Amino acid sequence: MASHSRNLRKLITSDWSKVFAVGGSFVVASGYSLERLREKDSEVFAQNSTFASLTRLKRQFVSIFGDVNIHAESAQVSENRRVKKVDKPSQQKKIAHKRFEKFASLEYTNGELIMTPMDFIESVTQTNPRPRIGRRKVTEKDLDTLLRSTPKPSKNYKGHDFFQKLDTDGVLTFPEYCFLVACLTKTRSDIEIAYKTFDRDNSSKIEKREFEQFAGRIAYAIAKHVVDIGSEAIPRTTLSQHFFGKGGTGKLAYDQFLSFIRSLQTEILMVEFTEFSKGLRTISEDEFARILLRHTQVPAEQQEKMMENLLKEGNPTFKGITFEEFCEFFYFLNNIEDFAVAVEIFSYAGQNLNKAAFQRAYKITTHGKEIPSTILDTMFLLFDVNNDGELSKKEFIGQMKDAVQRGFRYHTDEFIGWQGFKKCLVKERNATTEE
């Protein structure tokens, strides 16, 4: 029994990327495909339900909450860490707070900054906010006016325009902002694990207090900052009123929660697509490339060189990218870690990341979907800096991780200019190798 407990503790605290990386060589040597690996993985885990549950919980929960401690009965932030004084804010905290402060257009009577729904959309789709003179002061009485347009919860969010319809009529706090940002990159399984973790009584309903703790812990994980969870300074917000009613007594079902997040992801992609499509059915490949590059660490001067190569070599074959293709690619990016695993397995077999390997890894990652030829060609014209028909897997995956995180990815160093860009790539390659 003691030995079993030690093994379980070792399992819970293990570095999963290292475990899987080591297994990669076995997979190639044995002739297993990634699909077969997943089948065997399921077969073995099914033999021990406790093992399987802990494994899935560890992998999925950490991917959402980052550096948050996990306990057997409930997921709670360690009290010692919550009260620990942070002398020097981390770079990641600076990124999250600076982004929020930069785009927040409202200020509550106690000095706390708050966002409107349109502020949030701009913060994840634009580099800079629209011009304004100062911030609007908001009192508790003003909340009635700001929240009067807040809709009631829906079973299916089919319009994909929740935040656009509200425009500037709404209130979002910093923890809610972090929650929304985190949701943009999560898969369905991530969302399900998160919901079940915070549904403490297994009622398949989340209450307002549970949601406030949920948002607060995500803010802690993203910003490494002690957040006043459930603060009464701002008694009502757009999300709290929408999910739980004006009195805060409602409950949020899983289906509603999932539908809201999936609609949010689509809405942000729609805003970005429409910015360039101007009402047309497609955007050009170079416009797609600019959207993709805008949140990476690639310096502006290098981006222009990449764009020049794309326009020079690709113009004769360009035919445009539809919104459906655009969405599918960004949903694929939410699974970039799975893509990285597939590519790593190919590399063990001596296969470089050429177009054929990219197509195969994409198909595995998206459960059988084919990557559109227009997007595949754009990727290689943009990122194949040597024009040898291959991508550097470490560099490409690192850049895509930046793109999907929309500028919130943690970088400990300042990377300035072309030399800084190369330094960033070296750092990413070393980090991936260590994993």
Q: Is residue 374 in some structural domain?
A: yes
Q: Residue 364 domain-assigned?
A: yes
Q: What is the pLDDT of residues 302-356, one digit of tens each?
A: 888 899 888 888 767 778 999 999 999 999 999 998 999 999 888 887 888 999 9
Same domain, 164 and 208: yes
| One domain for residues 156 and 260 | yes
DSSP bridge partners of 44 = none
Residues 178 and 215 in one domain: yes
Give the pLDDT confidence score for residue 426 in this predicted structure.
54
* pTM of this structure: 0.72
Q: What was the pLDDT predicted at 355? A: 93
Residues 128 and 259 in one domain: yes
Q: How many CB atoms lie within 10 A of CB 234?
A: 19
User: Is 376 domain-assigned?
Assistant: yes
Query: CA–CA separation, 154 vs 134, rounded Å?
Result: 35
User: How far is 45 from 296, CA to CA, in rounded Å?
Assistant: 37
CA–CA dist 254, 265 (Å, integer): 17
38 lies in which domain range? Answer: 19-65
Residue 44 in any domain: the answer is yes
Tell me, yes or no, whether 242 and 307 share the same domain: no
Please check whether residues 245 and 100 belong to one and the same domain: yes
Out of 233, 265, 297, a domain closes at 265
Radius of gyration of the chain, Cα coordinates, nearest whole angstrom: 23
For 192, counting Cβ atoms within 10 Å of its Cβ (0-12 exposed, 13-18 middle, 19+ buried), the class is middle
Helix axes 117-125, 91-103, angle to 10 degrees: 130
Residue 272 lies in a domain: no
Place of tokens 């409950």: 251
Kindly state whether residues 245 and 358 are assigned to the same domain.
Answer: no
7 part of a folded domain: no
Q: Is residue 289 part of a domain?
A: yes
Which residues, in sequence order, are bridge partners of residue 321? Answer: 283
Separation of alpha carbons 228 and 175, rounded Å: 9
Domain boundary among 265, 295, 313: 265
Q: Where are the alpha helices (DSSP H) in 73-116?
A: 79-83, 91-103
Give the end of a domain, one of 238, 265, 292: 265
For position 315, what pLDDT does the model report?
Answer: 66
Supply the CATH number for residue 208's domain. Answer: 1.10.238.10
Place of tokens 């919901």: 195
Cross-strand partners of 137: 107
pLDDT average per 10 residues of sequence, the chain (435 residues): 41 32 32 40 39 43 39 31 40 71 93 94 90 90 93 87 95 91 87 82 85 80 53 79 92 92 95 92 93 84 89 79 94 91 86 91 92 92 87 85 72 42 51 48
Q: State whether 54 and 190 are in the same domain.
A: no
Six-digit token string for 184: 């943009």
Shared domain check, 427 and 334 = yes
Same domain for 57 and 97, yes or no, is no
The Cα-based distances of 319 to 70, 284, 369 in angstroms read 49, 7, 20
Whether 98 and 245 map to the same domain: the answer is yes
In a domain, 77, yes or no: no
**124 shares a domain with 57:** no
User: Domain count of the chain?
Assistant: 3
Token pair 């990557």: residue = 371
Contact 200, 74 (CB under 8 A): yes
